[in-house]
Structure 1
Amino acid sequence: MAAGSLPDEDDPFEEQRERVENPMKRLFLVYGRPNISYLVVGILSSIGARLLDLLPPILLGFAIDAIFRQDKSFAAIWLVPDAWIPASQEGQLWLTVGIIGGAFAVGALFHWTRNWGFNAFAQNIQHEIRTDTYDAMQRLDMDFFADKQTGELLSILSNDVNRLERFLNDGINSLFRLSVMVLGIAGVLFYFNWQLALVALLPVPLIALFTYIFIRTIQPKYKEVRSTVGAVNSRLENNLGGISVIKASTTESYESERVDEVSMDYFDANWDAIDTRIKFFPGLRVLAGIGFVTTFLVGGLWVLSEPGDAPWIFTEPISVGEFVTFILLTQRFIWPMAQFGQIINMYQRARASSARVFGLMDERGRVEESLDAKELEVSEGAVEYDDVSFSYGEPAADTADAGATDGDAVDDSTPEQILDSVDFEVEGGETVALVGPTGAGKSTVLKLLLRLYDVDQGAIRIDGTDVRNVTLPSLRRQLAYVQQDTYLFYGSVEDNIRYGSFDAPREEVVEAAKAAEAHEFIQNLPDGYDTEVGERGVKLSGGQRQRIAIARAVLKDPKILVLDEATSDVDTETEMLIQRSLDDLTAERTTFAIAHRLSTIKDADQILVFEGGQIVERGTHEDLLSRDGLYAHLWAVQAGEIDELPDSFVERAAERRARTEVEIESEDDD
């Protein structure tokens, strides 16, 4: 059974795999055809190398008969003009040695060009597939990544792509090498003595049957190995990413047990496959040995018999030299037959990997550009949310899917309405603040503006243009987005500030850092702006990372600025300094800001208060305080005027928590 032909409950990409038809045909047509010249070089060189490899044992047998025993004329040697044939035995020996030496020398050249051709073919395809798969993957919307673990995606980009390279190099290389050897040796054996050739080929049907049984047995085991590899990668990736939490929680032993568990699952699955494999090849050796012993016995008796008195049912004569050639070539014939099982195995594994790769490459997100999408040009920066509704999971309408953010609950089976009829307008240059309890949908509102997800109903417009009608790059170039969970790339401080504005000179980088109140602490780092921040910025504090992210947004100089808890990790004094800089930055551009510290947004032109995915209040700071609603109570709590929110607000928060817990339990049951 071919790998990938049966549903795999443990394969997170089963759905993608099942949609791919003829993955290996696609592999060769799409990626193999542009690199066909390398493959042709490899194939032709493989044929030449293997034919030359057959020459030494043939000439050895011929030399025994023509030079040492003189049972036949040396003039019968292949492809040598009569004028070149020496008269003396010594001269004939030197000619034979020269031909054999030349065969080894030219064969070595063919072996080099063979390996060059197949390696170039495989490496080029590996590079192209990996980059194309990554390009396709990063164009997917966020709901896809919310449903997949990083380790699972890395397994495709690394393990599966590498497995394709191994098949395209080692597998195809071995296929042509062994095919030429088997056909060439069989042809030589039948040429010399077809009856003894049949004896030498007796084990072939048994080897074919044994190999077939092996393939049927090993495939389910390799599928289990692939599944456990993905689990190991995901566990290690999660643990290494959360190492600070593990240390702070003193859960090293707990995590060690979890790693030990998934590693042992891989060990058991892999050892099961290894145990099958290490039994298979000794079994093949036994069959090969039976063929060799039988050939040696029959051929030996044949040679020892009187001329014209062949043993048993055999009639054709055989010389000593031909018998030696038979013995040498029989050893080379049986083992390649056995190795065809490995090639079939490599093909099946490559087929499963190609299905996963192309399945991921073909994955389509729901956030896609329309065919007639145009470039977005922002003049005023006015933004309109027109009756916007949104759900995570499959919506009722044929619209966008999404993943969870901002604490919003997710249940793919029964999607929950996250935003319900959100409707507001922002004039160009205004600052709008979004406040409300965690999970109210604030971050989702802003991510819809960037089209990280698409609305289920309604529309979002910038200067009157629906964001779904413009190209994604042109939309996102006009916005700068500073998230609460700041992500820094491995590299220097300057590299991270310049990210997305790669041509900006050092002077502008420094000015952006000053505007974000980051210049002073950067100067105090060991190498200043050239200091390496570590993976995910681990060498910097949370506040430092946020200031670098703000500097990145400042350097981009966007038309619309989106700040999602952009100063949550800085101290109050630094926040005041950053806020002063942000006031200058936001003075002439449209700005959206989410903040739990209400003091940072009290001067906003408009404050939208969210609860349960709806706007329950809107107005200026003074207007909202005068209404004595949710905003006024949140302000009073933060100002220390009251100790806690009224019971009605607490009850609504408890209802939201209970609903989330029910959804989580439902997911666990599923």
Structure 2
Amino acid sequence: MSTDDIRDDTILEEYRESVDHPIYRLFSEYGRDHAHWFAIGVVTSTLARFLSLVPPVILGIAIDAVFSDDQVYSLPLVPQAWIPGSTEGQFWLSVALMGVAMALAAVMNFGRTSTLNWFSHRVKHEVRTDTYQQMQRLDMSFFNDMQTGELMSILNNDTNRLELFLDNMMDSAIQLAVLLLGIGAILFWINPQLALVTLVILPVAGLFTLWFMRRVEVMYAQIRSQVGDLNTRLENNLSGIEVIKSATTEEYEGDRVEETSYEYFRRDWRALRMNLIYRPGLQLLTSFAFIATFIVGGIWVLSGPPLAFTGTLSVGELVTFLLLTQRLVDPLAQMSEIVDRYEDAKASTSRIYALMAIPVSITDADDAVELEDANGRVEYDNVGFSYDGETTVLRNVDFAVEPGETVGLVGPTGAGKTTILKLLLRLYDVDSGAVRVDGYDVRDVTLASLRGSIGYVSQDPFLFDGTIRENLTYGAFDATDEEMIEAAKMAEAHEFVRNLSKGYDTQVGERGVKLSGGQRQRLCIARTILADPPILILDEATSDVDTETEMLIQRSLDRVTENRTTFVIAHRLSTIREADEILVVEDGRIVEDGTHEELIDEDGLYANLWSVQAGEIDDLDAEFVERASRRAAMRSRDTEDE
């Protein structure tokens, strides 16, 4: 198991252990609003099972009263005056009652399946929706630790396990309970002594089931966790299929998938082996009950009461006993599947509630205010930050940006440039100091109004599976076609979109895979332009475009950034040469600031970076080269630690 897998398990396991009575919570929290449907399902299921027991009872009575003429024809709860006096009338009454019981049972079964299926699917829908909503609220630090496949496993596999249990096994459990109570009552009504012989298996089956449940509970928790690991492996490989093919590592990745899949198989097989003991064991117990009933009842009918038994037993009563005992065989054997599904659903529900229990720290304050019509003044006041609470990432970051200014952030990889701007978006909260917009601490305004005032174009352009039109208007759903096209023109995207076969209705594929990196980036810039935010963040926004396209985008960005506070993170220093101010970040601190010309004159880190990009490597300061070497070694060590 990889380090990431262990970290995923640790996060969920920590909260899963605190989840008590998950199935009960599921019903009390999600079933309450639909309890009437569940109640109808229970009632119709109960009636269906009771009605299914009517034909064996009537058949036993008919054998003794109609065919053998050994007893008077009488039915429980039916006045004797209603029963025909003739044998033929009693025969047809038996036929009619059995037919009506079977027909009503079919109607009740329809009501049972309809209502319980609706209940289970509705609960599954609400659980999945709430789980997804909780995922959206969770802090970015959570997503840094969790794998996508693990989250998909919870959203999809675990919620589907709930539906299987609620849909099929809950119904089976209800019917089994009704069947046991109904058959037990009928058997004791007919002959209490023989009923003890038939039903003595029930406490034995209960103890056997309790043993099974305790053994498989842990197994199913491990299986559900391994499903997440397998989904993660498959999701990673499918996302990186181009790298796998280009590196000819198909065999290597095939072995890794086989290893993960085998671990899932191994854990699943352990639980299956327990089922292979439990299910035949229950069948054996019910078979013993049937044989014992037949032996004792047969001797009783043929030779009188055996051993310490007393009284009489007719042929019809024995037939009823045997028919009802046979009815116990399959349901009791099915109890193994009920328990199996219950433990599986319990493990899945625990994982869902574990996810919901993870605390969210980035939330609106109780007295948060709306940031309306932001002017765009941004201030960092002596900001310090750490991702894990131990390793300091930013220290003493202090600067102010006036509305409409453009600020460039440059520095070595890993210096903290992107982290600085993530604090502005409040994807993380500062550990010390404050980040302010228009004088408001970002922790004192609502998240929606803060992030709605900021447009963000990342270095990894992301497009949703859908059309170009849907991606451009994402977040600006009321935008007109004219506004959309104007934004595309400003991002130098309109020309290439117009030349596509379906124009703005062209499907881009998952993550925009049908477009080039530069095309994706231009569409992301257009999407941000269309949202028209007062503050704009461009994180390596031109990193995936060629030199000519960069020039065109840079020209359009000059228009876009006018009268808009703009932050530009750039490794290509030419893109921020005209910025009002350039901040040079190194090791989490701002070590230089000024205009391009001022920083060149200082002959510091920025001047050295500019020399690197100008190809003047031989003229670099020796200390700069040594520091770059140390930073590269540090990044390699950090990567290994992760």
Please give the alpha-carbon distance, in whole angstroms, between the structure 1 residues aligned to 2:311 and 2:535. Answer: 92
Please give the alpha-carbon distance, in whole angstroms, between the structure 2 residues aligned to 1:346 and 1:255. Answer: 33
Among 214, 217, 220, which residue is 2:215 paired with? 217
Among 433, 441, 444, which residue is 2:419 paired with? 444
The alpha-carbon deviation at position 43 of structure 1 amounts to: 0.9
8 Å Cα contact 1:8/1:14 also seen in 2:
no
What TM-score do you get using the length of structure 2 for normalisation? 0.96
Letter in structure 1 aligned against 2:238: L
8 Å Cα contact 2:45/2:109 also seen in 1:
yes
User: 1:354: which partner in 2?
Assistant: 349
User: 1:638: which partner in 2?
Assistant: 613
User: 2:157: which partner in 1?
Assistant: 159
**1:308-361 Cα distance to aligned partner (Å, 9 max, x none):** x42222112111100000000011124434444443343333233222212211
For 1:452-491, what aligned pairs fall within 5 Å after superposition? 452-491=427-466
**1:19-70 Cα distance to aligned partner (Å, 9 max, x none):** 3344333222221111111111011111111110100000111110111011
Letter in structure 2 aligned against 1:545: R
User: 1:247: which partner in 2?
Assistant: 245
8 Å Cα contact 2:411/2:585 also seen in 1:
yes
8 Å Cα contact 2:286/2:332 also seen in 1:
no
> Aligned with 2:381: secondary structure?
strand
User: 1:282: which partner in 2?
Assistant: 280
> Aligned with 1:453: secondary structure?
coil
Please give the alpha-carbon distance, in whole angstroms, between the structure 1 residues aligned to 2:172 and 2:345. Answer: 15
8 Å Cα contact 2:394/2:587 also seen in 1:
yes
The alpha-carbon deviation at position 271 of structure 1 amounts to: 1.8
User: 1:429: which partner in 2?
Assistant: 404
Among 156, 171, 174, which residue is 1:173 paired with? 171
User: 2:125: which partner in 1?
Assistant: 127
**1:188-242 Cα distance to aligned partner (Å, 9 max, x none):** 0011111111111232233223222322332333233222211111100111111
Among 569, 575, 578, which residue is 2:550 paired with? 575
**1:376-420 Cα distance to aligned partner (Å, 9 max, x none):** 124421110110111111x2xxxxxxxxxxxxxxxxxxx321111
Please give the alpha-carbon distance, in whole angstroms, between the structure 2 residues aligned to 1:640 and 1:340. Answer: 76
8 Å Cα contact 2:283/2:332 also seen in 1:
no
User: 1:273: which partner in 2?
Assistant: 271
Letter in structure 2 aligned against 1:315: T
User: 1:18: which partner in 2?
Assistant: 17
**1:498-531 Cα distance to aligned partner (Å, 9 max, x none):** 1111111112111111111011111122211111
Letter in structure 2 aligned against 1:550: I
Please give the alpha-carbon distance, in whole angstroms, between the structure 2 residues aligned to 1:245 and 1:314. Answer: 79
For 1:110-121, what aligned pairs fall within 5 Å after superposition? 110-121=108-119
* Residue 502 of structure 2 is aligned to residue 527 of structure 1: yes
Two-structure CA RMSD over aligned residues (Å): 1.8
Among 226, 229, 250, which residue is 2:227 paired with? 229
* Residue 237 of structure 2 is aligned to residue 262 of structure 1: no
The alpha-carbon deviation at position 640 of structure 1 amounts to: 2.4
Please give the alpha-carbon distance, in whole angstroms, between the structure 1 residues aligned to 2:166 and 2:449. Answer: 39
The alpha-carbon deviation at position 114 of structure 1 amounts to: 1.0
* Residue 313 of structure 2 is aligned to residue 318 of structure 1: yes
8 Å Cα contact 1:215/1:341 also seen in 2:
no
The alpha-carbon deviation at position 283 of structure 1 amounts to: 2.0
Please give the alpha-carbon distance, in whole angstroms, between the structure 2 residues aligned to 1:607 and 1:618. Answer: 5
> Aligned with 1:369: secondary structure?
coil
For 1:602-613, what aligned pairs fall within 5 Å after superposition? 602-613=577-588
Please give the alpha-carbon distance, in whole angstroms, between the structure 1 residues aligned to 2:497 and 2:339. Answer: 57
User: 1:545: which partner in 2?
Assistant: 520
Please give the alpha-carbon distance, in whole angstroms, between the structure 2 residues aligned to 1:48 and 1:576. Answer: 77
User: 1:328: which partner in 2?
Assistant: 323
What TM-score do you get using the length of structure 1 for normalisation? 0.92
Please give the alpha-carbon distance, in whole angstroms, between the structure 1 residues aligned to 2:241 and 2:475. Answer: 29
> Aligned with 2:171: secondary structure?
helix
**1:574-598 Cα distance to aligned partner (Å, 9 max, x none):** 1111111111111111000011111
Structure 2 residue runs of 5 or longer lacking an equivalent are 1-5
Please give the alpha-carbon distance, in whole angstroms, between the structure 2 residues aligned to 1:358 and 1:225. Answer: 17
**1:413-445 Cα distance to aligned partner (Å, 9 max, x none):** xx3211110100101000000011110100111
8 Å Cα contact 1:182/1:336 also seen in 2:
no
* Residue 379 of structure 2 is aligned to residue 384 of structure 1: yes
Which range moved further: 435-444 or 163-172?
A: 163-172
The alpha-carbon deviation at position 454 of structure 1 amounts to: 0.9
For 1:177-188, what aligned pairs fall within 5 Å after superposition? 177-188=175-186
The alpha-carbon deviation at position 249 of structure 1 amounts to: 1.1
8 Å Cα contact 1:207/1:338 also seen in 2:
no
Please give the alpha-carbon distance, in whole angstroms, between the structure 2 residues aligned to 1:666 and 1:641. Answer: 34
User: 1:495: which partner in 2?
Assistant: 470
The alpha-carbon deviation at position 12 of structure 1 amounts to: 4.5
Please give the alpha-carbon distance, in whole angstroms, between the structure 1 residues aligned to 2:398 and 2:446. Answer: 24
User: 2:37: which partner in 1?
Assistant: 38
> Aligned with 1:66: secondary structure?
helix
The alpha-carbon deviation at position 264 of structure 1 amounts to: 1.1
User: 1:504: which partner in 2?
Assistant: 479
User: 1:143: which partner in 2?
Assistant: 141
Letter in structure 1 aligned against 2:473: R
Please give the alpha-carbon distance, in whole angstroms, between the structure 1 residues aligned to 2:111 and 2:482. Answer: 52
**1:233-258 Cα distance to aligned partner (Å, 9 max, x none):** 11001111111111111111111110
The alpha-carbon deviation at position 291 of structure 1 amounts to: 1.2
Structure 1 residues 25 and 611: alpha-carbon distance in aligned structure 2, compared to 1, 3 A threshold: same
Structure 1 residues 277 and 613: alpha-carbon distance in aligned structure 2, compared to 1, 3 A threshold: same
8 Å Cα contact 1:372/1:469 also seen in 2:
yes
> Aligned with 2:397: secondary structure?
strand
Structure 1 residues 644 and 324: alpha-carbon distance in aligned structure 2, compared to 1, 3 A threshold: farther
Please give the alpha-carbon distance, in whole angstroms, between the structure 2 residues aligned to 1:567 and 1:575. Answer: 6
Structure 1 residues 508 and 665: alpha-carbon distance in aligned structure 2, compared to 1, 3 A threshold: closer
8 Å Cα contact 1:193/1:316 also seen in 2:
no
Please give the alpha-carbon distance, in whole angstroms, between the structure 2 residues aligned to 1:478 and 1:265. Answer: 48
User: 2:3: which partner in 1?
Assistant: none
Which range moved further: 359-368 or 192-201?
A: 359-368
Letter in structure 1 aligned against 2:296: V
The alpha-carbon deviation at position 10 of structure 1 amounts to: 4.6
The alpha-carbon deviation at position 496 of structure 1 amounts to: 0.7
8 Å Cα contact 2:280/2:333 also seen in 1:
no
Please give the alpha-carbon distance, in whole angstroms, between the structure 2 residues aligned to 1:648 and 1:208. Answer: 77
**1:529-578 Cα distance to aligned partner (Å, 9 max, x none):** 11111111111110000000000011001100100000111111111111
Please give the alpha-carbon distance, in whole angstroms, between the structure 2 residues aligned to 1:376 and 1:77. Answer: 78
For 1:643-662, what aligned pairs fall within 5 Å after superposition? 643=618, 645-662=620-637
Which range moved further: 501-510 or 81-90?
A: 81-90
